[in-house]
Structures are given as structure tokens and as C-alpha cells.
Structure 1
Amino acid sequence: MTTTRAFAAQSATTPLAETVIDRREPGPKDVAIDILYCGVCHSDLHTARGEWGGVRFPSVPGHEIVGRVTAVGNAVTRVAVGDLAGVGCLIGSCRTCASCGEGLEQYCEGPHGFQGTYGGWADGSGENTYGGYSAAIVVDEHFVLTIAHGEEQLAGVAPLLCAGITTWSPLRHWQAGPGKKVGVVGIGGLGHMGVKLARALGAHVVAFTTSPDKKQDALDLGAHEAVLSRDRDEMKAHAGSFDLILNTVAAPHNLDAFTALLKRDGTMVLVGVPDSPHPSPSVGALIFGRKAIAGSLIGGIPETQEMLDFCAEHGIVSDIEMIRMQEIDAAYDRMLKSDVKYRFVIDMASLKD
């Protein structure tokens, strides 16, 4: 074991503070990474403040990790010392079930589910795991991503490991591309990536927001059109016209307003989890258009690598605001107010210094 500096929440009611954690020595298939940047996700906030059940303390959040490889095991073949590398939401799975066999480790059907970068196994078994609010991490090679972006882009790459793949996976699964009309509901950390990726995939992109101030922002991000979702006339103008709607909003709201915009056989995909249920959608509206409401969870390792390579090729990164590690609780408070465009990223040099 080696000790590593980190920021952790010791309980749901204590601020995150500097601590020391143990990291294992790299085994034959392990990769050790010096963390340069770590994105800040709403999941980090919910976990550190104990807002989700089963949180394991101490909690070291962070699953949008970009860094440089410092050591590799003797059986590692995909990366070498000095390479840039990323780690997303997953650091383990059974590797033998049907989902894992298809590269969909996020849906691991093994006895414990997937192993999160922080918080341990999905079923709560085994040891706790500690995420990217730390100076370094050691991860099995299978769950390490390669980074092709330029070094000057690395801070903006970090949120791709969660916000990017969470939107990329459904866009690819439901075949967003030329000839498809795609809506993105909510222009935040997830939504702004949904707009960028859908546009780059060749779809006609319409952004939906409740804020008039964000309409121009959405157009600047690449949306072809921006709609104020509280304006009935603006919404009605798009009735029955969408192949796919990517709904990133994590607060309860009326889903019927958006299913009405779907074509026959259209799908609305939910990627945000509200803290209380959405109002029950109208079943009739689904039946009479063979429409679907679906869900999607992050993405597997192969499609995460595909997304990173696509973003490098197209020059896509997240829009970010850099912070010091010591500013994390203030950043959480600002996130609750949607006071960030569109993702905080921690410069980990602030912890190491």
C-alpha cells in the first residue's frame, strides 16, 4: 500500500477536508495514474452529503478523472508510463455476464453489480473505493481509457468521463445522426454535452430550457433551435416531430409535455434521477403513437473510449470553470443554484501543493 492525499467527507454533515488514503501497489494488470484534473458531478454532491441511501463514509468522490500514467503492471499492454489516461464511473465488474461480454459493464449482472470508482460495489459488498478527489489512483487496465486530446484541453476532457458518456450512450443507442431530429431537455452539465454531441453526430438539434436567458446559450453550444418549454406556442410548433428526446433534467416535471413532441415510434430517454417521482405520464399518449419512455445509465468501457476518440477528432470538450480542491464545498453550493457553465473541474495541483 502507498498513502495518497485526498479530500473526503467523513460524514453526511461534515465538509470535505484533506485526509490520507491508501492505494494498492500496482498488480500485474494495474495502472497507476497521477491525477491532473477531476470533474465535479452532481453524484459527488449527493454522495458526500448523504442524500442517497447506502453511502459509505469516509467518501472520496470524483469519477471524471484525467491524469498521467506513472506505473504499470507487467501484464499491461494498452498504456505505458507517461501516457495520458482517464478513469470514469466504473473500476470493476464481473467481466463474465452477458452485459459485460457486450461491453456494457454499467449493466453488470454479476452478483455485486458494477464497482463504482467511489463507493464500492453496487450492492454495498466488499471494501469501499475512493475516487478522483485525490492525488493518484490505481485501476485495472480494463477500466482505463486512453486520451487523444491535446494537453491544453485536458481539464475540459475530464467531464466527458461522466457527462459526456451519459449523453453519448443513448444518442448512439437510439441512432442519433443525419436525418434525425433530436431534442435535449435541460442545458446544464449533461445537457450542454448532449447538444454538442448530437450536433456533431449530424442530427438536427433542438434544445429545451425553462430559462429565457439560456436560449442563446443553447444556440451558441450548437443547437439549431432553442425552445422555451414553458411557452405553449413554442412547444406546440414542434408537436409530433422528434425521433429522440434526451431528457437530462433531474427534477420532477410533466413528461407528457415532451412525449407529445415525439413522432410515432419516437423515444424520450431519461438520464436524470429526480429525488421524488415524476408525475405519472399519460399511458394513452404512448399507446396511440407507439411512443416510448426509456432510461439510460452512463456507458460501458468500449463506448466510453469511442466517445473520447470522437470528441478528440471533433475538438469537443466540456465548458468548464476551474476550481481549487479547497473550494469544493462552495462549488457544491453553487451547483445547487445552477451557478456554473457548465461543469466544475478541480485542478489537482491545488491538493498536491
Structure 2
Amino acid sequence: MTSSDNFEGWLGLDKDSVKGQMKWGKFQPKKWTENEVDIEISHCGICGSDLHTLSSGWGPTPYPCVVGHEIVGKAVRVGSNVKHVKVGDRVGVGAQALSCLQSSCAACSNDLENYCGSDDKCNTYGSSYPNDEGMSYGGYADHNRTNGHFVFKIPDGLASADAAPMLCGGITVYSPLKNNGCGPGKTVGIVGVGGLGHFGILFARALGADKVVGISRKRSKEKEVLDLGADQYIATDDDQDWIAKNTRTLDLIISTVSSENMPITGYLQLLKVYGTLIQVGAPDNGSLPAINAFTLFTSGVKIGGSGVGSPKEISEMLELAAEKKIKPWVQQRPLSEANDAIVDLKNGKARFRYVLVNEKHVR
């Protein structure tokens, strides 16, 4: 059992924490209720969201903040209202820690908790819980406390280091792929082959897409992308006439890029008639490039967005990953090196996901 006042982790204290200046220290988790699960953390993936939050890039961060929302470990305390998890289970937590869970909520009552519009919705870190229950703190830590509805058992067929980054990075692309028809007969493009995009290729293939196309800026990534399972690679900076050569060839594009300067009109021209582009990458200020309306009209294409995934989708994704033996490209780093790891991620050194390993909890 964990103590309510005995949690420790890497604290971001101000905007400079993203420069590798987090400090190890104690923090007070949310108030315990019988709906909670306490997790002894063994692994935590590093997500680009962690960097945006540490730097206050998506808005003011409530410092001190412990980031990390790709958490795997052992359940060490389970509230009496939680029925699907027991003490000793290997479990995980993704980017969401709470929604209103009310039958009157159109989102929560339809297994779409990730789109709950209530003030009760909380992220795994950096959110204030309702009823003065405290703040949410993430996984760069020894322990985590989260509402059991958002805690998932990890299938036996998945290694903890592989499962952790699926809980945000994986589900962020799995959800829009599944919900926009990825499967047999479809040709799918993945824009931005990094931490998110490499999952896009893996899951598009696992869902049975006929053809998967990786799209990135530089030709230097081609071998990695093909090794992941893509059938084709487009380098938008290095390939002359990349738009003309690939016009109307894709049914669905998932864009993981978070740049205000991405050639989004060019991407839209790659779509077949009535094709769809789903944006999942989020620039710091939320701004996307301007879109030429005639690009939408001439092919009847659609553009939309997607935000993480629901608990039902996460469980479904984990089972598919175990069944298909999906193996993400991860590099494991000791939790003690968290500051170095976030700097390396910011500098583009990850291939493709860093996972922090809390060595004292790995047996």
C-alpha cells in the first residue's frame, strides 16, 4: 500500500524545466477515494505533450507539475468500487484521468469519455480535480493515483516498455484510423514519421490497410519508414513534384505534424475524391496553416481532428497489439535520466519513443 503523502517524482517548477531542469521531490497526489487505483510505476513513456506542458506551450501550466501520461506498473492499492483491477495486476494509464461519467452526458454514455465536455474532465497531469480533491500528477514518478475507470489491465503478450507509449502515442493514431475506415481496400498516408507517426504505420498495417504510405520532409528517413512496414515513402522537401506524382492516391491521411508551416494544402491534394485528413498533431498555439477552400471543393475532401481515445478504444488497441505482436521502436532510459531524455527528445534524437524505466520497481 502507498501512503497518501509519500509520492515522489520529477517536478517541473517553471518553463525552464523543459531544458532539463526538473527537480526530484515530493508531491501530494489527489485525495484518495474508493474509486482510485494507486500504481507502483515501472515504466513511463515520454510524449511530446510532456514538453509542451513543461514549457507552458499549450497555455499556463500549474507548476509544480509531474508530467508523463504513458504509465505502466503494478496496482498496489485498489478502491472498493473498482472491480476490473486487483492488487498485483499489471496496469496502465493514458492521457485521461477523469470525465463526468454521467449517464446524461452524450459522450460518456456512448463510450466517448475522451470527448466529455464537463468541467469534471481531467488530464493525467496538470489538471485540478473537482470537489477540491487536488491536482493530477503524472508518471515521471514512483507512484501514480488515477480513477479506476481510466486504468487498464495490460495483456500478457505485451512487454511493459512496449505497452507504455501505446497509452497515448499509440491510441492517438489508432483511434482516428479505426474511426475513419482504415482497413482492407484502403490506402492510408501517415504524415510525420516520429513518435506518433511510427505508431500510425504499425497500426494502419495491423488494421489491414492495403497500402501504407509514410510522408515526411527528408529522404533520409526512407529506410526506417519502410522497415516499419510502409509500402511507399514521400519526402516533401526532397522529392520534386511530390504532389503531382501522388495526386488522388490516398483514402485517408493521419497528420501527426505539429507545425504551422506544414504543406497542408499539398497533403489534401493527395486525397482521393471524398478522402479524409485527420489532424492529431497540435502546435503550441494551436494554429494550423491556411487552407485553400478550392482544394476542398474540387475533390470533396474533408479535414477533421481527433483527441486521444476512449477507455474502450484503449483496451481494444492493447488487445490488437498483443494479438498482432506489434513492436514499437522504443529506447529505454533510466528514470534517473529523465532530464537528459526530455532534452534529447526536444532535439529530435528519439527513434522513435523514449520510455523511462524505474529500475527499483522492475523485478
Q: Percent identity?
A: 36
2:136 is aligned with 1:129:
yes
- Residue number in structure 2 paired with 1:222: 229
Q: Is the 8 A contact 2:253 2:277 kept in 1?
A: yes
In structure 1, C-alpha distance between the alignment counterparts of 2:120 and 2:36, rounded to whole Å: 21
Question: Would the alpha carbon gap of residues 51 and 126 (structure 1) be closer, same or farther in structure 2, given more than 3 Å must change?
Answer: farther
In structure 2, C-alpha distance between the alignment counterparts of 1:351 and 1:31, rounded to whole Å: 17
- Residue number in structure 2 paired with 1:171: 177
Shift of residue 198, structure 1, vs aligned partner: 0.1
Shift of residue 233, structure 1, vs aligned partner: 3.2
- Residue number in structure 2 paired with 1:197: 203
Match of 2:153 among 141, 146, 150: 146
Stretch moving more, 328-337 or 300-309? 328-337
Match of 2:107 among 91, 95, 99: 99
Q: Which runs of 5+ in 2 are unaligned?
A: none
Match of 2:304 among 282, 294, 304: 294
Shift of residue 165, structure 1, vs aligned partner: 0.3
In structure 1, C-alpha distance between the alignment counterparts of 2:128 and 2:114, rounded to whole Å: 12
1:158-192 CA-to-partner distances (Å, cap 9, x unmatched) read 00000000000100110100000000011100000
Q: Is the 8 A contact 1:11 1:57 kept in 2?
A: yes
Shift of residue 93, structure 1, vs aligned partner: 0.6
Match of 1:273 among 282, 289, 300: 282
- Residue number in structure 2 paired with 1:337: 347
- Residue number in structure 2 paired with 1:108: 116
- Residue number in structure 1 paired with 2:12: 9
Question: Would the alpha carbon gap of residues 205 and 305 (structure 1) be closer, same or farther in structure 2, given more than 3 Å must change?
Answer: same
In structure 2, C-alpha distance between the alignment counterparts of 1:350 and 1:188, rounded to whole Å: 29
Question: Would the alpha carbon gap of residues 335 and 58 (structure 1) be closer, same or farther in structure 2, given more than 3 Å must change?
Answer: same
In structure 2, C-alpha distance between the alignment counterparts of 1:148 and 1:200, rounded to whole Å: 17
1:213-234 CA-to-partner distances (Å, cap 9, x unmatched) read 1111111001111111231334
- Residue number in structure 2 paired with 1:87: 93
Q: Is the 8 A contact 2:243 2:269 kept in 1?
A: no
In structure 2, C-alpha distance between the alignment counterparts of 1:33 and 1:209, rounded to whole Å: 37
Shift of residue 24, structure 1, vs aligned partner: 5.4
Q: Which runs of 5+ in 1 are unaligned?
A: none
Stretch moving more, 188-197 or 30-39? 30-39
In structure 1, C-alpha distance between the alignment counterparts of 2:179 and 2:333, rounded to whole Å: 34
Q: What amino acid does structure 2 have at the position aligned with 1:245?
A: I
Q: What amino acid does structure 1 have at the position aligned with 2:10?
A: F
Secondary structure in 1 aligned to 2:185?
coil
In structure 2, C-alpha distance between the alignment counterparts of 1:223 and 1:122, rounded to whole Å: 42
2:234 is aligned with 1:245:
no
In structure 1, C-alpha distance between the alignment counterparts of 2:298 and 2:178, rounded to whole Å: 26
1:131-178 CA-to-partner distances (Å, cap 9, x unmatched) read 111111122221111110446x21121000000000001001101000
In structure 1, C-alpha distance between the alignment counterparts of 2:37 and 2:79, rounded to whole Å: 7
1:269-300 CA-to-partner distances (Å, cap 9, x unmatched) read 11001235333111011012111111111111
Shift of residue 333, structure 1, vs aligned partner: 2.0
Shift of residue 126, structure 1, vs aligned partner: 7.0
Shift of residue 211, structure 1, vs aligned partner: 1.6
- Residue number in structure 2 paired with 1:161: 167
How many residues end up aligned between the 2 structures?
A: 350
2:330 is aligned with 1:320:
yes
Q: Is the 8 A contact 2:157 2:325 kept in 1?
A: no
- Residue number in structure 2 paired with 1:303: 313
Shift of residue 127, structure 1, vs aligned partner: 3.3
In structure 2, C-alpha distance between the alignment counterparts of 1:73 and 1:332, rounded to whole Å: 33
TM-score (norm 1): 0.94
Q: Is the 8 A contact 2:30 2:136 kept in 1?
A: no
Question: Would the alpha carbon gap of residues 281 and 24 (structure 1) be closer, same or farther in structure 2, given more than 3 Å must change?
Answer: closer
- Residue number in structure 2 paired with 1:45: 51
Q: Is the 8 A contact 1:183 1:208 kept in 2?
A: yes
Question: Would the alpha carbon gap of residues 17 and 244 (structure 1) be closer, same or farther in structure 2, given more than 3 Å must change?
Answer: same
In structure 1, C-alpha distance between the alignment counterparts of 2:84 and 2:201, rounded to whole Å: 31
Shift of residue 350, structure 1, vs aligned partner: 6.0
